[in-house]
Amino acid sequence: MKKTILIFVLLTSSIFAKLNVATTYTYLSSITQRIGGNLVQVTCLSSPKLDPHFITPKPSLIAKLRKKDLIIINGAQLEIGWLPPLLRSANNPKIQNGNKGFLDVSAAITLIDKPKTVSRSQGDVHPDGNPHFILDIHNSIIVGKLISLKLAQLDPSHSQIYTQNYKKFQKQMQHLAHTLKTKYKSCQGKKVIQYHELFNYAFKQYGIQNIGNIEPLPGISPSSKHTLALINQMKNNKVTTLLQDVYHEKKTARFIAQQTGAHIALVPHDVGAMRGTHTLETFYTSIGKAICQ
Ligand SMILES: [Zn+2]
Domain total in the chain: 2
Query: Cα of 188 to ligand 1 centre, how many Å?
Result: 24
Query: Cα of 264 to ligand 1 centre, how many Å?
Result: 20
Query: Cα of 199 to ligand 1 centre, how many Å?
Result: 9
Q: Are residues 43 and 171 in the same domain?
A: yes
Residue range 129-156: mean pLDDT, rounded: 98
What integer best gives the mean pLDDT of the chain? 93
CB-CB contact of 173 with 140 (8 Å): yes
Query: Cα of 125 to ligand 1 centre, how many Å?
Result: 6
Cα Rg of the chain, angstroms: 21
Q: Are residues 239 and 262 in the same domain?
A: yes
So what's the pLDDT on residue 120?
A: 62
Q: Are residues 77 and 200 in the same domain?
A: no
Does the CA dihedral 186-169-281-245 come out positive or negative?
negative
- Nearest C-alpha neighbor of 146 from the set 213, 73, 199: 73
> 23 phi and psi, to 5 degrees?
-130, 160
Q: Are residues 90 and 167 in the same domain?
A: yes
Q: Tell me the pTM.
A: 0.93
pLDDT single digits (tens) 204-246: 999 999 999 999 998 899 999 999 999 999 999 999 999 999 9
The sheet with strand 19-23 has its strands ordered as 40-44, 19-23, 70-73, 102-104
Q: Are residues 118 and 233 in the same domain?
A: no
Element (H, E) at 59: helix 59-66
Query: Cα of 154 to ligand 1 centre, how many Å?
Result: 31
Final residue of a domain: which of 148, 178, 208? 178
The residues, any chain, with a CB within 8 Å of residue 195's CB and separated by 6 or more, are 213, 214, 215, 243, 244, 245, 248, 252, 253
Query: Cα of 30 to ligand 1 centre, how many Å?
Result: 21
Q: Are residues 6 and 43 in the same domain?
A: yes
Q: Are residues 169 and 262 in the same domain?
A: no
Q: What is the DSSP letter of 33?
A: H
Final residue of a domain: which of 112, 144, 178? 178
So what's the pLDDT on residue 17?
A: 80
Range of the structural domain that residue 142 is part of: 2-178
Query: Cα of 240 to ligand 1 centre, how many Å?
Result: 23
Q: Are residues 113 and 221 in the same domain?
A: no
Question: Where is average pLDDT lowest: 59-63, 74-78, 125-129, 240-244?
Answer: 125-129
Question: Where is average pLDDT lowest: 7-16, 46-55, 146-155, 217-226?
Answer: 7-16
pLDDT single digits (tens) 235-286: 999 999 999 999 999 999 999 999 999 999 999 999 999 999 999 999 999 9
So what's the pLDDT on residue 11?
A: 47
CATH of the domain at 230: 3.40.50.1980
Q: Using alpha carbons only, what angle is made at residue 243 by residues 240 and 244, rounded to the nearest 5 degrees?
A: 135
So what's the pLDDT on residue 49?
A: 96
> CA-CA distance, 196 to 18, in Å (whole number)?
38
Residue range 98-110: mean pLDDT, rounded: 97
Query: Cα of 126 to ligand 1 centre, how many Å?
Result: 6
**At residue 14, does pLDDT exceed 50?**
no
**121 — pLDDT class (breaks 50, 70, 90):** low
CB-CB contact of 161 with 198 (8 Å): no
Query: Cα of 51 to ligand 1 centre, how many Å?
Result: 9
> CA-CA distance, 5 to 40, in Å (whole number)?
25
